Amino acid sequence: MYKSVITQCKAKGIADGSLWVSFERRMRCGVGKCGHCQMNHIYTCQQGPAFMYSEIKALEEAFA
């Protein structure tokens, strides 16, 4: 769902720095022990769960 919404927002001229995404759905333990929320070097439960799109747009795993 993120891909289509981001595509529509960008078509309307919204900058990457103005788009925020939430990855709460990826969390389980909430303290970084289980690794379920890990996307490359980012732990959603410790560093998020909300991220500016411009910061995470290169993480293919985030939008798979």
Q: What is the pLDDT of residues 18-52, one digit of tens each?
A: 999 888 876 778 777 888 888 888 888 888 889 99
Q: Does residue 14 have a pLDDT over 90? A: yes
Residue 7, in any domain of the structure: no
Of 5-9, 20-24, 60-64, give the range with the top mean pLDDT.
Answer: 5-9
Full DSSP string of 1-64:
-HHHHHHHHHHTT--GGG-EEE-GGG-SSSSSSS-TTEETTEEHHHH-SEEEHHHHTT-GGGG-
Number of domains making up the chain:
1
| Domain housing 31 | 13-63
Residue 4, in any domain of the structure: no
Residue 57, in any domain of the structure: yes
The pTM is what? Answer: 0.73
Residue 2, in any domain of the structure: no
4 token code pair: 């289509």
Residue 3, in any domain of the structure: no
